[in-house]
């Protein structure tokens, strides 16, 4: 297989990271890795933040959340409960402020960003339980939040996409209405057995060794074959919420995400898949420096609006 041709601006970001001496997961402490991630996030997004009408920090049954409203409205709004990426170890609602603002503004929906607990201090299932608690709280308080309870979805990038996929399945199994699952280059399997893990094991940002380290921190000894850990292990995908699955060409997680999308489609779940060629894992966080990443939000916004508008019932 020939190496992928990366977008020149993506390559420039990777070169900048190499020149800056970015430390790999496991080479520094989790605290140092988090500080590095905060710095990277600020540099990659820059000042290109989307303006929204209001931003409110509040609490969802003990889980910190941030509510982004794109415009002032008195009608119930469509919404997305969002779980940030970062390998379950790094990241926060602050590091993903650019992504959540972009989705809120461009899709014209309310976005509720969830600040779940991080590993290794809080291993599995802490992050998942926080994600599930926040989702139920938003659904149960939809009326006072001025949200349309039939048009609330879940979403996330990378580790957050993993949480979104599991929460979507729990919603199906526990009669919590979820209209959409937005999975942005999600971690779907603990198996490390796909071709993309071989093709892109190093040199494209997120590495195979890096994912091993992240998974180890998150699992804390838990079984990687548990469907709450690896959505790929879910036997029955029927009746799941509609799905939008986004992958990057040069990403170790590409194949497992695309396989999951194909399985959902074959299980009669309405599924849209987008592979962004020339991109690497985490490319949406680079929208301040990469024009193609910025344009992707506009493209995905149309699908997000359309999917949510159909409601979970249809």
Alpha-carbon span 74 to 129, nearest angstrom:
32
Active site residue ranges: 158, 251, 281
- CB proximity list for 237: less than 8 A, separation 6 or greater: 263, 264, 267, 269
Q: For residues 64 and 97, is the Cβ–Cβ distance under 8 A?
A: no
Neighbours of 196 (CB within 10 A): 21
Alpha-carbon span 205 to 14, nearest angstrom:
7
Q: For residue 120, is the peptide bond before it cis, meaning its omega torsion is within 30 degrees of 0? A: yes
DSSP-assigned letter for residue 202: S
DSSP-assigned letter for residue 76: P
Alpha-carbon span 162 to 114, nearest angstrom:
14
């Amino acid at each position: 297989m020939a190496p992928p041709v990366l977008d020149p601006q993506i390559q420039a970001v990777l070169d900048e990271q190499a020149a800056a001496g970015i430390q790999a997961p496991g080479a520094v402490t989790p605290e140092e890795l988090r500080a590095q991630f905060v710095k990277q996030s600020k540099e990659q997004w820059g000042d290109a933040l989307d303006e929204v009408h209001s931003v409110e920090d509040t609490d969802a049954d003990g889980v910190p959340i941030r509510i982004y409203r794109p415009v002032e409205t008195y009608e119930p709004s469509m919404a997305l409960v969002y779980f940030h990426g970062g390998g379950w170890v790094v990241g926060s609602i602050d590091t993903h402020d650019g992504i959540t603002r972009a989705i809120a503004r461009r899709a014209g929906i309310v976005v509720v960003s969830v600040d779940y607990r991080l590993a290794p201090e809080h291993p599995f299932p802490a992050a998942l339980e926080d994600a599930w608690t926040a989702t139920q709280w938003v659904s149960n308080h939809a009326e006072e939040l001025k949200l349309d309870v039939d048009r609330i979805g879940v979403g996330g990038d990378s580790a957050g996409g993993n949480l979104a996929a599991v929460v979507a399945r729990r919603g199906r199994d526990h009669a919590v209405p979820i209209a959409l699952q937005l999975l942005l280059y999600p971690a779907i399997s603990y198996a490390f057995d796909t071709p993309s893990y071989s093709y892109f094991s190093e040199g494209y940002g997120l590495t195979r060794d890096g994912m091993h380290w992240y998974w180890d921190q998150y699992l804390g000894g838990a079984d990687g074959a548990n469907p709450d850990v690896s959505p790929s292990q879910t036997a029955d995908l029927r009746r799941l919420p509609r799905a939008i699955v986004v992958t990057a060409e040069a990403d170790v997680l590409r194949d497992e995400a695309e396989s999951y999308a194909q399985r959902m489609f074959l299980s009669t779940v309405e599924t849209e898949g987008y592979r962004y060629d020339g991109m690497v894992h985490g490319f949406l966080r680079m929208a301040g420096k990469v024009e193609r990443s910025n344009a992707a939000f506009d493209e995905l916004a149309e699908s997000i609006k359309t999917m949510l508008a159909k409601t979970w019932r249809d």
